[in-house]
A = this chain, B = another copy of it.
Amino acid sequence: MASLREVAERAGVSTAAASRALRDRPGVSRETRSRVRQAARELGYQPDLRARSLRTSRTHNIGLVVPDVMNPFFSEVARAVGDVAGQREYSLLLGNSDGLRNKEEEFVNLLLQKKVDGLIVFAATSASQHLERARARGLPIVLIDRKVPGLDIIRADNEKGGTLATSHLLDLGHTRIGLITGRLDLATRRDRYNGYRYALIRAGITPDPTLVREGSVRSDHGYGAALDLLNLPAPPTAIFATTDTIAMGVLLALEERSVPVPEEMAVVGYDNTYLTVICRPRLTSVAQPKQQMGRWAATFLIDWIEQGRADGDEPVEVVLDPQLVVRESTMPGVRALQGRDLPLSGVGRSGS
């Protein structure tokens, strides 16, 4: 309500002095400073951050674009990003792209007009002219899980993850391993797929395309595709679902068909979300360091915003190692997380 001018008037000084006084800048005497402070307190003065930002060209807002906050994977990363941002005095403008190119583009453009200081964007589409344009305008952008030449990115090694999952199944003696995945036009999914193929080939097994089901990452696709695989003349003995959400659908299908897991069908998921310990059997899954990814992305972005770049715009690519977390869906009796570990982040809190 009260503006700087009113504060200045009440303290009997100019707005320039008042501004300096309130922000502890030099050029104001001791007593003037306290007089201004006093006036500000009396008026309940709060600076108008958008006016400040107009002048300083810093909004202290960063944009975060995710496909869908409702997905446990994204909400966990989003949470980590939000925490770091909050600590460093930035706010988050959040948008869901639903993996749709035009939604993402529209939102990014809006954020540009709102003059965010930086952008964190999740894998959505592979096309990305709007991102390159934004980058060209000097906007700091960090990508998560999406590779675009010339842009900075943090991602987990998805090919390695795919190999990890597949090798685990191979080690258990499986040779016919099905793959259920979202659309393969996205680099990260393609990588997982390649990792799967690589592991098979390395083990001397020719990948069998009839065991691969491409679709969405929704659990209903997992459900349908799993039934589909079961109906094959020679069904697989194990399924690698490239997403925990898909795996949920797979488990449901197997349960309905009374196929014992892991005895007659082993299942591996990906992302290691908290879903893995809620379902039964508990799901073996490839873990990405979600928190770390979020925290790193936010930290890197904000450092970039505040200190510029030391490396002369050389695009950075951080690749993190995935890790396999073995649970009951591949090895009977293995729990991986004991009882008291349950309050995994995310299922930890509620409130309504």
Residues of A within 8 A of B (CB): 1, 46-51, 53-54, 59, 61, 67-76, 78-79, 82-83, 86, 91-96, 98-99, 107, 109-115, 122-124, 137, 145, 182, 186, 188, 216-220, 223, 243-246, 248-249, 252-253, 256, 270-271, 275, 278-280, 288, 339-340, 342-352
**Residues of the B chain whose Cβ atoms lie less than 8 Å from the Cβ of A99:** 349, 351
Within the oligomer, what is the number of copies of this chain? 2
Contact indicator B96/A94 (Cβ below 8 Å)? no
A226 shortest CB reach to chain B, Å = 11
A71-B350, A71-B351 given; A54·B46 CB < 8 A: no
A223-B339, A280-B279, A347-B219 given; A270·B352 CB < 8 A: yes
Instruction: Name the residue among A72, A94, A113 with the largest chain B CB count within 10 angstroms.
Output: A94
Contact indicator B113/A347 (Cβ below 8 Å)? no
Contact indicator A95/B82 (Cβ below 8 Å)? yes
Contact indicator B123/A343 (Cβ below 8 Å)? no
**Residues of the B chain whose Cβ atoms lie less than 8 Å from the Cβ of A349:** 67-68, 70-71, 98-99, 216-218, 245
A253-B339, A256-B339, A342-B249 given; A91·B82 CB < 8 A: no
**Residues of the B chain whose Cβ atoms lie less than 8 Å from the Cβ of A249:** 342-343
Contact indicator A70/B59 (Cβ below 8 Å)? no
Chain B residue nearest in CB terms to A280? B280
Give the distance in Å from the alpha carbon of A79 to the alpha carbon of B78 in the complex: 13
**Residues of the B chain whose Cβ atoms lie less than 8 Å from the Cβ of A86:** 95-96, 107
Contact indicator A50/B54 (Cβ below 8 Å)? yes
Contact indicator A93/B93 (Cβ below 8 Å)? yes
Contact indicator B110/A343 (Cβ below 8 Å)? no
Give the distance in Å from the alpha carbon of A94 to the alpha carbon of B113 in the complex: 18
**Residues of the B chain whose Cβ atoms lie less than 8 Å from the Cβ of A46:** 109, 112-113
A247 shortest CB reach to chain B, Å = 10
**Residues of the B chain whose Cβ atoms lie less than 8 Å from the Cβ of A217:** 349-351
A157 shortest CB reach to chain B, Å = 13
A93 shortest CB reach to chain B, Å = 5
Give the distance in Å from the alpha carbon of A59 to the alpha carbon of B61 in the complex: 13
Contact indicator B243/A348 (Cβ below 8 Å)? no
A268 shortest CB reach to chain B, Å = 15
Contact indicator A252/B339 (Cβ below 8 Å)? yes
Chain B residue nearest in CB terms to A216? B349
